[in-house]
Structure 1
Amino acid sequence: MLGIIADDFTGGLMIAGYIEGAGIACPVLFERDEIAALDRCEVAVIGTRTRLAPAASAVADVEAITERFERAGCTKIAYKVCASFDSTDDGNIGPVADFLSDRYNQKPLLLSAGFPRFGTTVHQGYLFYRNRLVSESIKRFDPLTPMSDPDMVRSLARQTRKQVGLLNHLALQGGVDAARLRLNAVAGEGHDYILIDCSDDTDAQTGAVLAASDRTTIGSDAHIIEFARVCAGGGSDTRMPAPSHAKGPAAVLVGSVGPVASAQLAAFEQHHPVLAIDILDERSEEAIIADALHWATQRIGNDPLAVTTAADQDAVEKAQRVHGSLQAARKAERILAAVARGLVERGVRRLAVAGGETSGSIVESLGIRQVRAFPDKGLGTGFCVAEIPLHLSLYLKPGKLGADDVLLRAVEAMRD
């Protein structure tokens, strides 16, 4: 039994969709108390909000969840982080690796970033985002985790006391046996952690096989999906029939910032109304939320609407100067979470949410503890259904993924 700890809600839901698509039952939990009630399954995911958490807090959360997974029968633990290992030098990936490595006496501990099908790859240890070095991509403008160093070995080494080595694409393309020989050689050089290249899907598959006998591993989507498939033996027939989407009005909530979110909102606004909330509005949050819900109430119906806190780069930087980077983001999340709760109270039953942290805040606000993910049906993963406290359809996506029309297509897909 494999327990996967995802560092945000959207990432956990995304990989669950791919794992379900492989025929492997994979419940997604949002509350650690739910772990104790797990029915016997091969893989389970719990979504957390550790991505931006201080290192000590993230390690404490991972430790508590690991203990609960172990009591539920899990013999393997994986920590799932975002495809580009979003982090700063004070980030928590290294400290979580230290905890897991020490707990399971795992040496070497294998790590792998990247998600090739979405244009994030690692080649010769260097991170590329949409075919550009991450330091030359839009990721260098990320308001919370600007990526300025593309050397993943060097970046990870700044977060941990242990030695980080590299298993590169040249070693991986020779097949599992050749890769294992090189892996043993790199470990023999004194490296406690080994980053595995992810230049393509074959690299991810080989890396997962190399990690399959380990008690623990850390990786982004591609690595963890393949790791789950290997550990579960290629699938089972134990899944319940797929759930059906909820009926009712739809709404879109966008808390992500940057050119990807802006393009998706612009495409949506060509067809449906969009309300943009200014984070620099000096009124109380309660007043801002009340105005947003008043605007939305008049428009809830057969056609979807959108509410966003996204802004252009200048506005984001101004908000950060006024509130601080993390505080500005948290304010946006609180406002959108309250708006989401108000929309559901007013009858909305289909929600598309852009932004990992925003999704986490909204799921918590709605009291959702567990969902069932839909396999990819041509639009990617991220679709799920909650039954408690209400029957709700959700589409939760990372802010920087998806085509320009993904929000339009998502609300339509939830009609099925």
Structure 2
Amino acid sequence: MFLGVIADDFTGAGDIAVALAKGVGDAGGLATVQFLGIPTDNAPVGTEAGVVALKSRSISSEDAVSQSLQAAEWLLSQGAEQIIFKYCSTFDSTKQGNIGPVAEALAARLESTQVIFCPSFPANGRTVYQGNLFVKDVPLSESSMAYHPLTPMKDSDIRRVLAAQCKTAVGHVSYPHVLSGSENLTHAIEQCHAPFVVIDAITDDDLLTIARSQRGVRFVTGGSGIAPGLAHNFISDGRAQGQKPSVAGVTGPEIVLAGSCSSATLGQIKHHKAHHPAKLIDVDAVMAGTVSADDYVTFLLENTGKAPLLYSSADKAQLKRLQEQYGVEPVATRLDELFGEIASKAVSLGVRRIVVAGGETSGAVATALGHASLRVGPEIDPGVPVLSATDGSGVVLALKSGNFGTPDFFEKALHVMGETP
């Protein structure tokens, strides 16, 4: 294993896994396997990049640090030469968030005296300029992420957000240094003198430059945008051959589950409802205990072959009402449990293709299904791969971050999941 990744949520793990597997251009990427939780067995033979998917973004910082260190130890035991701490390209972390504490703990374990922070992902409109993160042409704090139910982003300056979370000094390397090339960038990072360094990046070429500057560096943090370049370092050095990701297609019964309240997912739900059966989860009934997973599984199974959609996603006003009435954590926890139970029951009754929208929802579904690892297949939309269970069950998944994907993502995902290379 050349590269080891610690991802703070399940959709983010798939996001960086497909980036590593896809690599750069015709050179291809690394043979990549995604592990759900901290593995207890060795990685499959031939694994060149291992991605450990944790659900540590919204838990206590102490638990997040503990789990991340355990993941690091396993990756190191598998021979990983470079460790990446992967977080969302919108940083998704409040002043009490876990990115800073986890990065500090991993840096100490890996004896890294200087660590870059590179959340940019231009393919999905996430860029960093003058230390501030933008979503397309809007500052992060003015985007829909400002209203995220668990990690509302009220500050676009990544330096300030990170500094509020940790004791480590945070510096910045500006865009002109990135444009000057990898050698000059390496020097600029060193001259920054701060242990943590936020780096500007606007284009994919910028990310390749940054990745080249990190050749041989033990510990890197960022979004998935930097991953193709990091994988390519091993290929260009002649240590890996490079390949394209593929998995066998599955044409079995299908369901779509959506728990994200992001604007992208809401648009995808609206598009899908116009052409396919869809049912809104009654959150009030769920909280009252008057509706069960079986009620919703019945709807899904009655409509297999029609790409049925089950969703709990709500607009801002409805979400605010539910959170005020029941509390943020109780609503999120109960819906996660429900989605996990629905997915598990559906698979036991023959469902083989599952599309999930939302990081927390994806984590709940993947955990409930209990797959130890997933092979990374082709990319559906930027940052979202087909994931095939390695246990012979024939289940394929598409775990989508709430903000990712085109309006027709659900239909597209089911189509790609059914294709055989």
Preserved contact between residue 166 and residue 194 of structure 1 (Cα < 8 Å): yes
Query: Where do residues 1-400 of structure 1 align in structure 2 (5 Å cutoff)?
Result: 1-21=2-22, 22-34=28-40, 36-187=42-193, 191-233=194-236, 236-237=240-241, 242-281=246-285, 285=289, 287-300=291-304, 302-376=305-379, 381-388=384-391, 390-400=393-403
Preserved contact between residue 12 and residue 88 of structure 2 (Cα < 8 Å): yes
Alpha carbons of structure 1 residues 378 and 112: separation in structure 2 relative to 1, 3 Å: closer
Deviations 1:150-205 (A, max 9, x none): 11111110011010000111111011122222222112xxx111111121112211
Alpha carbons of structure 1 residues 324 and 224: separation in structure 2 relative to 1, 3 Å: farther
Preserved contact between residue 21 and residue 32 of structure 2 (Cα < 8 Å): yes
Tell me which amino acid in the other structure corresponds to 1:157: A
Q: CA deviation at 1:361?
A: 0.8
- Distance in 1 between residues matched to 2:219 and 2:292, nearest whole Å: 45
- Distance in 1 between residues matched to 2:183 and 2:374, nearest whole Å: 39
Preserved contact between residue 374 and residue 381 of structure 1 (Cα < 8 Å): no
Preserved contact between residue 367 and residue 389 of structure 1 (Cα < 8 Å): no
Q: CA deviation at 1:12?
A: 1.2
Alpha carbons of structure 1 residues 285 and 210: separation in structure 2 relative to 1, 3 Å: farther
Q: Which residue of 1 aligns with 2:408?
A: 405
More deviation in 390-399 or 220-229? 220-229
Alpha carbons of structure 1 residues 394 and 6: separation in structure 2 relative to 1, 3 Å: same
> What's the TM-score once normalised by structure 1's chain length?
0.93
| Number of corresponding residues | 412
- Distance in 1 between residues matched to 2:73 and 2:383, nearest whole Å: 32
Preserved contact between residue 85 and residue 220 of structure 2 (Cα < 8 Å): yes
- Distance in 1 between residues matched to 2:261 and 2:33, nearest whole Å: 29
CA RMSD of aligned residues (A): 2.0
Q: CA deviation at 1:42?
A: 2.6
> What's the TM-score once normalised by structure 2's chain length?
0.92
Q: Structure 1: give runs of 5+ residues left out of the alignment.
A: none
Q: SS of 2:379's equivalent?
A: coil
- Distance in 2 between residues matched to 1:205 and 1:34, nearest whole Å: 34
- Distance in 2 between residues matched to 1:57 and 1:112, nearest whole Å: 24
- Distance in 1 between residues matched to 2:108 and 2:51, nearest whole Å: 22
Preserved contact between residue 356 and residue 398 of structure 1 (Cα < 8 Å): yes
Preserved contact between residue 19 and residue 224 of structure 2 (Cα < 8 Å): no
Identity of aligned residues (%): 29
Q: CA deviation at 1:404?
A: 1.0
Preserved contact between residue 19 and residue 225 of structure 2 (Cα < 8 Å): no
More deviation in 311-320 or 233-242? 233-242
Q: Structure 2: give runs of 5+ residues left out of the alignment.
A: 23-27
Q: Which residue of 1 aligns with 2:25?
A: none
